[in-house]
Structure 1
Amino acid sequence: MTNTRFISTTSIQPATADKELPQRIELTPWDLALLLADPIQKGLLFHKPTSQLPTNTLIHHLKSTFSATLDIFYPLAGRLALVQNDDVDCTSSFFLHCNGEGAQFLHASANDITVADILQPLNIPDDIVDSFFPMNEVSNYEGTSKPLLAVQVTELVDGIFIGCTINHTVLDGTSFWHFFNTWSRISRSCGGGDDGDGDRVSEFPPVFDRRQYLHGIVELPLRIPFPRYNEIPKKPTPPPLKQRMFHFSRERIAQLKAKANAEMETDKISSLQTLMAHLWISITRVRNLEKDESVTYGITMGMRGRTKPELPQHYLGNSIKLEIVKTTAGELLENGLGWAAWEMNKVIASQTSEEVRKFIEDWGKNPVVVNPGQVIQSKCTMLITGSSPRFNVYGNDFGWGKPIAVRSGPGNKLNGKLTVFPGAEQGSIDFEACLSPEILQALVEDAEFMELRY
């Protein structure tokens, strides 16, 4: 474990308070379904600024611009609020209380860690990277008393890591990177250390209202059978897991995509569908499953363009749905890349606005808050992909250059979790694979998989 030394912890409020802004924001089925899950944790690695900017000035600058960003994303400085309903079913209701109580800003130092210590090991050094994220082992429902947003800025020997943890009940990956992009834009416009206001106006202001988009589908606030806090079962301890980044170049992706489309005599299979199918086949092969064993691939899909009326791209909240592609190990390996990618394509295409509306209506009638620990298996045959290669990760220049790598924190890590990011080079894609040590090693030793990366 790295010796991360915490220098300061500060509660940061929005720079200005507008009492006319809504103080209560209702939560949707997409939001509430994640109450027992972990927050979103993503962080960026930077080279240390080449200027002679004093550390205290840089940290002051990041705090100041963080506060300015909270002016725009003011609900993130609030807390979740819980109401115990007086009804026969003993239900509860949650809402987002925009009370300005504050987000958390941590300044830390890891003076024995270099950028190379993070990038050069073949497997991601979790003992190092995990320590760069705040609020580990916190569940979303604890947002009633804990900050919804926490940032940790960790100084390395020759770099800086900015780790961000945001309550997943409040927003999804699209909104997460909207916040990060806005903060970096404000920081950059302020000059990397000046005290000036800079450009405090987001290029695309977030949209907070949920009611207008769910009107006539479900009635808010929703009443859910949420257990008392002392009755929530503890998360089971997951088996040992290892993580590794797999990089796919633009050229390799194009080759695989062309192969998949040619096999199915279509042009509708996307690059991401092709890569997910390639990983599904490769990992299933090295898992050495019986032919008749069931295998599943969970795809976390964004729903913003699949609702009527359409949710704005900069809607602040969750708009995601998990869809499952299911087959057997034998059928998957025998039919190959094109077939697997086409099965994914069909499931994704089936998510029409009617299907989305039906999901929201059905969840409102029968709320299900899933405990992620329930999917932990002794013999894992599943994979699940989260995040998106469309997120603006490498455009986050805070004023001293673009990031050189992205990493995720320990939250929501499962055996078979594949987190997708855009690659640093245009058109490339990276997958952060979280697998059991023996399966990850078998994948690395699988020549058929490894030769199709770069």
Structure 2
Amino acid sequence: MASIRIISTSIVCTASDKQSNFRIELTPWDLRLLLEEYSQKGLLFHKPKSEKQYENTHIQHLKSSLSRTLDLFAPLAGRLATIKHDDNTTSFFIDCNNEGAQFVHAAADGVFVADIIQLIYVPKIVYSFFPLNGVENYEGTYKPLLAVQITELVDGIFIGISINHTVVDATSFWHFVNSWSEISRGCECLSKPAPILERWFLRDKDCPIHLPVLSSEKLNNKRVPPPLEQRVFHFSKENITKLKAKANAEIGTNKISSFQALLSHFCGSLVRNKCIDDPNQEMKFRVIMGVRPRMNPPLPQHNFGNAFQGGTVTMKARELLEQRLGYVALEINKIIAMNTDVDLKRFLGVLDTKP
């Protein structure tokens, strides 16, 4: 398949003339991600029928609307910064200095939308549709916290977005993307409130958080993922509704969510297709959950930053093969339910109680 061609690279700053010079301290939820890579999501569209006019205006329109969106999401136009302390520790914060987000315009000559969506596995060229590949979050001290790449296909457009994961989780990521979409469409009133930019701490003494200085060994010890193929699955709303109803009916409850039912179905399918030799082999599944509504009082959904926790579901292969959908979904439900307000605050290091 063809390679991409970079047409231009530029920096997009906030539209407002006001200089941003405030700082945002980082929480334990943020700081645990320093050695992880940027979060990446892509959007694929067919080109509109009025193609000629579209090609002449859409890049500048996307730049302009992104700039206006950054007025609301000023941290994404900033950089990470550090302060070294006398006790040989370091603190990280977001410096909202408006150094700008990266904006790349590229073209994938000879590549059609069908070449992306009709293959069983994600084609390798798709990875080149994203900027800042392989960049780790701590590198946000000198690299943009947000980078967007607009890649022209023959009959479509791919918008690849890379955001520093210490700055946002999935909830804040999509808050930004949806706001940009609405601003781009000229919406007078956004469907979601403006983000709350200040990080949430229970006590003033909890910030800034002091971290041991990151050693060169840790910084250079990048995790190399195995050379696995990736595949995207699509589940219709109707099928997910059926899975949820089936899982709840099997265990006589109504507390199994759509996500839990779908994950249960996926885990069972995965084990069946792996052809596990030992039925007693332990299988571990990592479950990530947003915790804003789990705090007491709840954090607003538009609270900008990271607020998620992970849990591990451990089951034997035979349980996943022999038990019904509802049984597995209930085990997932139990792991998620374990993340109470007290447990979350204990993780944040602001409670003195022991487990």
TM over 0.5: yes
1:251 aligns with 2:270: no
1:283 aligns with 2:281: no
Partner of 1:69: 69
Partner of 1:371: none
Partner of 1:268: 255
Q: In the TM superposition, what is the alpha-carbon distance from 1:308 to its structure 2 partner? A: 2.2
Partner of 2:44: 45
Please say if residues 72 and 202 of structure 1, whose CA atoms lie closer than 8 Å, have aligned partners that are also in contact: no
Partner of 2:292: 304
d(CA) in 2 for partners of 1:170 and 1:69?
16
Question: Match for 1:208 among 178, 189, 197?
Answer: 197
Partner of 1:115: 113
Please say if residues 172 and 320 of structure 1, whose CA atoms lie closer than 8 Å, have aligned partners that are also in contact: yes
Question: Match for 2:164 among 150, 153, 167?
Answer: 167
CA RMSD for the aligned pairs? 2.2
Q: In the TM superposition, what is the alpha-carbon distance from 1:54 to its structure 2 partner? A: 4.9
Q: In the TM superposition, what is the alpha-carbon distance from 1:348 to its structure 2 partner? A: 1.3
Matched letter for residue 81 of structure 1: A
Q: In the TM superposition, what is the alpha-carbon distance from 1:96 to its structure 2 partner? A: 0.4
Matched letter for residue 163 of structure 1: G
Matched letter for residue 134 of structure 1: P
Structure 1 residues 224, 4: closer, same or farther in 2, change over 3 A? same
Q: In the TM superposition, what is the alpha-carbon distance from 1:362 to its structure 2 partner? A: 6.7
d(CA) in 2 for partners of 1:364 and 1:224?
19
Question: For 1:29-178, what aligned pairs fall within 5 Å after superposition?
Answer: 29-51=28-50, 52-87=52-87, 90-125=88-123, 127-178=124-175
In structure 2, runs of 5+ residues without a counterpart are none
d(CA) in 1 for partners of 2:351 and 2:151?
41
CA offsets 1:77-126 (integer angstroms, 9 cap, x no match): 10000122210xx221100001111100000011210111111112221x
Matched letter for residue 106 of structure 2: A
Q: In the TM superposition, what is the alpha-carbon distance from 1:44 to its structure 2 partner? A: 0.6
Question: Match for 1:225 among 194, 206, 212?
Answer: 212
Q: Which has the higher contact order (CA 8 A, sep 6+)?
A: 1
Greater shift after overlay, 3-12 or 355-364? Answer: 355-364
Greater shift after overlay, 172-181 or 226-235? Answer: 226-235
Matched letter for residue 42 of structure 1: K
Structure 1 residues 364, 295: closer, same or farther in 2, change over 3 A? farther
Please say if residues 218 and 361 of structure 1, whose CA atoms lie closer than 8 Å, have aligned partners that are also in contact: no
d(CA) in 1 for partners of 2:159 and 2:234?
22
Residue aligned with 1:58, SS? helix
With structure 1 as the length reference, what TM-score do the two structures score?
A: 0.73
Q: In the TM superposition, what is the alpha-carbon distance from 1:296 to its structure 2 partner? A: 1.0
CA offsets 1:295-339 (integer angstroms, 9 cap, x no match): 111111001111123211111100011111112212332323111
Q: In the TM superposition, what is the alpha-carbon distance from 1:172 to its structure 2 partner? A: 0.5
Matched letter for residue 102 of structure 2: Q
Please say if residues 345 and 351 of structure 2, whose CA atoms lie closer than 8 Å, have aligned partners that are also in contact: no
d(CA) in 2 for partners of 1:327 and 1:217?
41
Structure 1 residues 54, 344: closer, same or farther in 2, change over 3 A? closer
Structure 1 residues 63, 229: closer, same or farther in 2, change over 3 A? farther
Matched letter for residue 46 of structure 2: H
Please say if residues 48 and 54 of structure 2, whose CA atoms lie closer than 8 Å, have aligned partners that are also in contact: no
Residue aligned with 2:115, SS? helix
Please say if residues 115 and 159 of structure 1, whose CA atoms lie closer than 8 Å, have aligned partners that are also in contact: yes
In structure 1, runs of 5+ residues without a counterpart are 190-197, 366-454
Question: Match for 1:240 among 210, 219, 227?
Answer: 227
1:335 aligns with 2:335: no
With structure 2 as the length reference, what TM-score do the two structures score?
A: 0.93
CA offsets 1:142-183 (integer angstroms, 9 cap, x no match): 000000000001111011111111000000111111111111
d(CA) in 2 for partners of 1:108 and 1:176?
23
Partner of 1:8: 8
Q: In the TM superposition, what is the alpha-carbon distance from 1:199 to its structure 2 partner? A: 4.4
Please say if residues 222 and 364 of structure 1, whose CA atoms lie closer than 8 Å, have aligned partners that are also in contact: no
Runs of 4+ in 1 over 4 A off after TM superposition: 198-203, 362-365
d(CA) in 1 for partners of 2:82 and 2:322?
51
Partner of 1:452: none
Residue aligned with 1:214, SS? coil
Query: How many residues get paired?
Result: 351
d(CA) in 2 for partners of 1:70 and 1:13?
7
Structure 1 residues 251, 72: closer, same or farther in 2, change over 3 A? closer
Residue aligned with 1:152, SS? strand
Matched letter for residue 133 of structure 1: F
CA offsets 1:64-86 (integer angstroms, 9 cap, x no match): 11111111111111000012221
Residue aligned with 1:170, SS? coil
Partner of 1:435: none
Please say if residues 280 and 317 of structure 2, whose CA atoms lie closer than 8 Å, have aligned partners that are also in contact: yes
Please say if residues 3 and 112 of structure 1, whose CA atoms lie closer than 8 Å, have aligned partners that are also in contact: no
